[in-house]
Structure 1
Amino acid sequence: MSIKTSNLGYPRIGEQREWKRSLESFWKGSITEDELHTQMKEIRLNHLKKQMELGIDYIPINDFTYYDHVLDIATMFGIVPNRFQYSGGVVSLATYFAMARGGEAQACEMTKWFDTNYHYIVPELHDAKPTLVENKPLKAFKEAKEELNIIGKPVILGPFTFLSLSKGYKKSEFSNLLSQLIPLYSQVLSELKEAGAEVVQIDEPTFVTDLSADDWNLIKQVYTQLANATDINLIIQTYFESVDQYLELISLPVKGIGLDFVYGKEKNLNSLLTYGFPQEKILGVGIIDGRNIWKSDLNKASKLLERINEIVPYSRQLIQPSSSLLHVPVTLKYEEALDPLVKEALAYCDEKLKELTLLKEIILDRSQFEDKLKEHQTGIYELSESAWRSEKKLNELKTNRITHFSKRAELQQKKWKLPLLPTTTIGSFPQSTEVRQTRLKWRKGELSNENYEQHIREYMKKWIKIQEDLELDVFVHGEFERNDMVEFFGEKLSGFAFSKNGWVQSYGSRCVKPPIIFGNVEFTEPMTVKEVVYAQSLTDKPVKGMLTGPVTILNWSFARNDISNKEISFQIAEALLKEVQALEEANITMIQVDEPALREGLPLKKEKQADYLQWSIEAFRRCTSDIDDLTQIHTHMCYSEFNEIIDAIDAMDADVISIETSRSHGEMIEAFEKTTYTKGIGLGVYDIHSPRIPSVSEMSSIIERALKVLPAERFWVNPDCGLKTRSEEETIAALKKMVDAAKKARENITISSQS
């Protein structure tokens, strides 16, 4: 009996975020392009060595990137927007990074990778003529073979998914564009076959979404053409959910099919048991959770594999993670400070690969590895039986504000007397080296609580003065005491643990360290009141209280997997309501409860979306409804794909919502052309993810277009998102232009009303 292990993708960032440091050193001009390539190669090869040492049979290559794997496909095919003045040939590193980060030209749009917290760069196909300018998978394959004698498994984003994730074409053009891509994919695959590649993983996560019969006809044509063009073994890999059109999928002319038996377990397993599986094909069994950090129950996993063995023998199974391990931290070995009860229940990337190896050993000879299995399972059991996970009864909370928005708005305007098109920011100001070093010294005990608090007050005082000078209308305190918008709150609530090195990539070199929700969440004491009250004492302008909402805290944490996400979000909402009420009692009555991650958690299956939106909106309202009419609730949401959930956004009943739209402003405006939105709203007028500072006229044009479909008396002017990643100079310059653009728009409205 034999069975093989396979990995779908390894985190790029390195054990100590070496990848991030190399990129940022290059962007700052501290290292040359040659030095960057050398450092990246070292990181890349180290990842392959480690997987080889961990005993993985099929090691992925070409999963490494300098920024984003979708951008890699676009540039591999020479798909570069005209504004970057690309003239053909291999896309330079300068152009590659300009597409991702901006510069003289606006960066390409960035949005969420399915329902994860990873962001990809959206390819733009306006008048594109795709051509293969560089076979990146081939380079990666040859490097692994020549440097380490590894016959790697190339990983390539599939043509259907790549095109589905792109923009800049009409739906009627999809089939024609797809036909242009097939010869390019065929050439990539043929060259890999010639170089000695045995198996290629073609990622097609779009296959788990709601596709039509016409879509599947196209998919069949695509893979028939690829099969005719090259005889290399292709494994179509799906993940994040189940595949509804199972029979269509398994009929494709490929060597193997990869299915998610974690997040799509019930439906995928039912399809397998009901319809069987082709005898000539390999089944990739995604059985280790690729998106969360809890240990897998290997007893349950082995039983599932035994059941699958009745349909697909072990010899034709690949046991693997449910998705790429891009979404989890690299290794637990640096987590000395975690409570042992929590740590022993965790598995990061390397530990998950060890789980695959152990699972393989158990299948081959369970008796020999029984002690090893028992040791593994102990950590799972002990945490589940701890007091931290005792049953918690939720309280009944208000989920509706008593007074209708229109009346609230009238009362709030009488109180605040804000001008037309009020200006504000989303929350954070630049986290300079000085700010970060101050916080680090305090955490190390090198700075007393009193001295640390004094430093934070000095930063707040400085930026209140800057906001006064800029003539913003609504201020923020700057969040200088916060390392991360989720981690900050998790540290002050019970039920959370924090890793030392649990970093994952969010976008580009931006890495986040999600909190770990391991037990019941409880409010212990006020978390934000002191800082905001101090900031408010420095100005007559309103200063917003700044909180992170329950669904975002949930979605941007590694959540416990023994109770539902709905229940966890309600526990967090109950705790946040107490903070909202504490701010009210301190006379902070403009409060922003951010939900940037609400949209990203939307299930991929339409049949599951209504339920998710219902409890997500209820969670938000649970922490924002039991308050006074004069308390103005703001919220912020990131990224642009909101068209299908406008009604849900309205149902949040926030007094003011700000939405990131600068990279895809036109699409958002189209949504409001079709839907009437009457509450306060700010569509971001410039992109904070790019160092580029747009002109007053650019911002003005965004405001002008928005005002064609949104009422001026409800419109706010703000950046796309928080400003913590920008420099002080960039921030001040951009905000000055933003305020000038708002003033210009007010003047135009006044002139128009008088004419």
Structure 2
Amino acid sequence: MTSVKSSNIGYPRIGENREWKKTLEAFWSSSISEESFSIEMKKLRLSYLKNQQEKGIDFIPVGDFSYYDHVLDTAVMFGLVPNRFNHAGGKVSLSTYFSMARGSAAAHACEMTKWFDTNYHFIVPEIEDKKPELVQNKPLEAFLEAKKELNIHGKPVILGPFSFLKLAKGYDKSHFEEILQTFIPVYVQLLQELKDAGVSIVQIDEPVLVTDLSDDEMDVFSRVYNEICQHVPSLEIILQTYFEAVTHYKELISLPVKGIGLDFVRGREENLASIKKHGFPSDKLLAAGILDGRNIWKTRMEDSVSLLHELTEYVSVDQLVLQPSCSLLHVPITAENETAIHPEVKAALAFCHEKLDELTLLTKAMNHPGEDSSFLLQTQDEAINKLKASNLRERKEMNELPSKRNKVFADRFPLQHEKWKLPVLPTTTIGSFPQTKEIRKIRADWRKGELPHSTYETLIREEIKKWIEIQENIGLDVLVHGEFERNDMVEFFGEKLEGFAFSKNGWVQSYGSRCVKPPIIYGNVSFSEPMTVKETLYAQSLTGKPVKGMLTGPVTILNWSFVRNDLPEKEVAFQIAEALLNEVKSLEHAGIEMIQVDEPALREGLPLKQDKHQHYLNWAVEAFRLSTSDVADTTQIHTHMCYSDFEDIIQAISDLDADVISIETSRSHGELISSFEETTYDKGIGLGVYDIHSPRVPDEEEMSSIIERALAVLPSRLFWINPDCGLKTRNEKEVVEALTNMTSAAKKIRSSITIK
């Protein structure tokens, strides 16, 4: 009997209680040996497979587990280690692997940037003069382990050659096809070894298929897969896409692969239209991504069943494989223990385990339609309908707010220069200082009611005072209070605004062991009372230098939250902007007139298709301006962005009309600076001069070289000196040494330049 199958694309790495993170950090701190590390990681890996097995998933992914990042895994699997790490060849050691990710005393880390339009960061491969070779077949090892330990005949997951090379750097892009050809025999060898070991089906991820590939690029893609499939004809390959609709559907379905994975959440209308126009081959599987792998709301079963019935007009039942729209890496593990969330909100939540339950339910409903299935599907939708009808989601009217400053920057700049009297090349930091175990314990004890509020405030103030003194001793020009009262730059504000809910254990991976717990925007967002004024005012009272007020911007709060799915994102962003404007004005009224509104996620939210860019940028820029425009001309608005490709949104960055913007540039080794050789930027700007995500402390000379290159294309009178990002993940010694070198570099260059 033929039937619909279920499949998962990828499973979260971090564990229900962040066991993965804790094991990693214990190893990095030398608290456990490499042997103990490997044993603990294996336990986690197998437990994840067992969870999926118990859920009844037919095609369970193997090889999606990683010690840090799956793109980095692919690079080291092919021996692509940059020359600066002095790798002798062969299998890459764990120490070299982590040095590539985090840097070392001898070599800076590989660049890190956003995985398409998500908040997950991947390590950018560097090709250099290397020719790929299979030094370790990681998917094969994962397959054999699952088979031996759990009797699971897994589905190996591999990042495809085209996407891998597209995401890489360190080679002449005009030779893309030529270099891509060197990967074909390596992938053929990898796949042949899988086939010889008994693998029957393989998932090859090619997410670049949803980007704006040209016809010529698609021709290259087709030639590569025709050649690969020719060498391993009996291995069933599913080409997996996600995050959008595919660009070249007709060419894609003509490839000699066993199946095509399409996203029917974010790319539903376009992918469905392509199937209706061009049909779907009768000899292929359609891996239909029908559950949202990037948000945490339950799936409306009525809509999903309707979509599946529509698909079965073009695809037979035995061709259908049901799955999430993308890897579940982007959602928390389970909502089962979230007892503190409002019951109506919790009832509508679906984290990873709940989504796998939904997947099983839909698969059974398709295979065994009838009254029982209908009842279960209707029960699933009741929670969604109840929340929708609740006053928790009553739509509110938006107020008219100014989205333009009174004066243009050229007229504001002299007024601000006269007010602040800062030296040329002023130095500052991005906002946060080290979040030590002691600080985290103070916050945790206070939240649990085990520490009196007065004692908590005293301890936080002591830490603020300590770091104000450190900043003054280092010689920074503009100071920050350090954000010791804050758990996370989005969660902190969400807790103080209306319309947010918070999970107890809803963690997701951002980069490496860095996990975040995104707030859940379930209702209307609004301002209640000042959120940051008290701590900022206290810090300002300790120094004669300006202290920046520190806020997270509306687009970042939106993009780094799990957002209600019953309103357009633009409308939610404007609600957040109005709430933040109240905070900006509260700071200004209290005398804090240098205010930083961070938007690190602005570029991340840019749609993957060019024709959708401008609509997004228009409302994203407007949301920022709504939150920052209604201030005095002398109030200086800063913003910050980090770890993204900014070259294609330089104009939008300028349109934000912030007086000063700071942008990451050290991991990309100044590559962003080349953008300013072609584009004039006429506002204050700071390009980060050292990488805060690495424990490595660069010396004064290294930072000076980045500053000097930037000053070749940017006016010194508008240039600021700062680290790449906040310093919460670093220790005190690293921070003091690095900032001391940074200020020394700034002072040295300051004394020798001509102001322009």
TM interval, short-chain normalised: over 0.9
Match of 1:314 in 2: 317
Q: Which amino acid aligns with 2:702?
A: E
Matches of 1:381 and 1:495, distance apart in 2: 18
Contact 1:112 1:119 survives alignment (8 Å): yes
Match of 1:302 in 2: 305
Contact 2:245 2:263 survives alignment (8 Å): yes
Matches of 2:96 and 2:276, distance apart in 1: 49
Measure how far apart 1:277 and its partner are: 0.3
Query: Which of 244, 250, 253 matches 2:253?
Result: 250
Measure how far apart 1:453 and its partner are: 1.1
Runs of 4+ in structure 1 off by over 2 angstroms are: 369-375
CA RMSD of aligned residues (A): 0.9
Query: Which of 346, 350, 353 matches 1:347?
Result: 350
Measure how far apart 1:329 and its partner are: 0.3
Q: Which amino acid aligns with 2:121?
A: H
Matches of 2:597 and 2:584, distance apart in 1: 9
Deviations along 1:647-697, one digit per CA (max 9) or x if unpaired, are 110000000000011011332011000001110000000000000000000
Contact 1:640 1:664 survives alignment (8 Å): no
Deviations along 1:585-613, one digit per CA (max 9) or x if unpaired, are 00100000000000000000000000000
Deviations along 1:309-360, one digit per CA (max 9) or x if unpaired, are 1100111000000000000001112212111111100000010000000011
Secondary structure of the corresponding residue to residue 202 of structure 1: strand
Secondary structure of the corresponding residue to residue 638 of structure 2: strand
- 1:249-648 matched pairs, under 5 angstroms: 249-363=252-366, 364-648=368-652
Contact 1:640 1:661 survives alignment (8 Å): no
Q: Which amino acid aligns with 1:210?
A: D
Match of 1:193 in 2: 195
Match of 2:702 in 1: 698
Secondary structure of the corresponding residue to residue 662 of structure 1: coil
Deviations along 1:236-272, one digit per CA (max 9) or x if unpaired, are 0000000121101101110000000000000000111
Contact 2:293 2:328 survives alignment (8 Å): yes
Q: Which amino acid aligns with 1:413?
A: H
Secondary structure of the corresponding residue to residue 663 of structure 1: coil
Measure how far apart 1:447 and its partner are: 1.1
Secondary structure of the corresponding residue to residue 427 of structure 1: coil
Secondary structure of the corresponding residue to residue 333 of structure 1: coil
Q: Which amino acid aligns with 1:7?
A: N
Measure how far apart 1:362 and its partner are: 1.5
Contact 2:637 2:659 survives alignment (8 Å): yes
Match of 2:73 in 1: 72
Q: Which amino acid aligns with 2:65?
A: F
Identity %: 64
Matches of 1:164 and 1:445, distance apart in 2: 51
Measure how far apart 1:301 and its partner are: 0.3
Matches of 2:583 and 2:661, distance apart in 1: 20
Matches of 1:441 and 1:149, distance apart in 2: 45
Q: Give the paired residue count.
A: 752
Deviations along 1:107-131, one digit per CA (max 9) or x if unpaired, are 0000000000000000001111211
Matches of 2:556 and 2:230, distance apart in 1: 46
Match of 1:125 in 2: 127
Q: Which amino acid aligns with 1:563?
A: L
Match of 1:217 in 2: 219
Match of 1:48 in 2: 49
TM-aligned CA distance change 1:613 to 1:313, over 3 Å: same
Measure how far apart 1:415 and its partner are: 0.7
Matches of 2:729 and 2:407, distance apart in 1: 38
Secondary structure of the corresponding residue to residue 411 of structure 2: helix
Contact 1:205 1:238 survives alignment (8 Å): yes
Q: Which amino acid aligns with 2:262?
A: L
Contact 1:9 1:60 survives alignment (8 Å): yes
Matches of 2:384 and 2:452, distance apart in 1: 38
Match of 2:236 in 1: 233
- 2:736 equivalent to 1:732: yes
- 2:689 equivalent to 1:688: no
Contact 2:301 2:378 survives alignment (8 Å): no
Match of 1:113 in 2: 115
Q: Which amino acid aligns with 1:234?
A: I
Deviations along 1:290-321, one digit per CA (max 9) or x if unpaired, are 00000000111011101101100111000000
Q: Which amino acid aligns with 1:99?
A: M
Matches of 1:666 and 1:594, distance apart in 2: 21
Match of 1:83 in 2: 84
Secondary structure of the corresponding residue to residue 393 of structure 1: coil
Which runs of 5 or more residues in structure 1 are unaligned?
none
Q: Which amino acid aligns with 2:711?
A: L
Deviations along 1:135-168, one digit per CA (max 9) or x if unpaired, are 1100001001111111100000010000000001
Q: Which amino acid aligns with 1:661?
A: T
Measure how far apart 1:371 and its partner are: 3.1
Match of 1:158 in 2: 160
- 1:15-34 matched pairs, under 5 angstroms: 15-34=16-35
Measure how far apart 1:366 and its partner are: 3.3
The TM-score normalised by the length of structure 2 is: 0.99
The TM-score normalised by the length of structure 1 is: 0.99
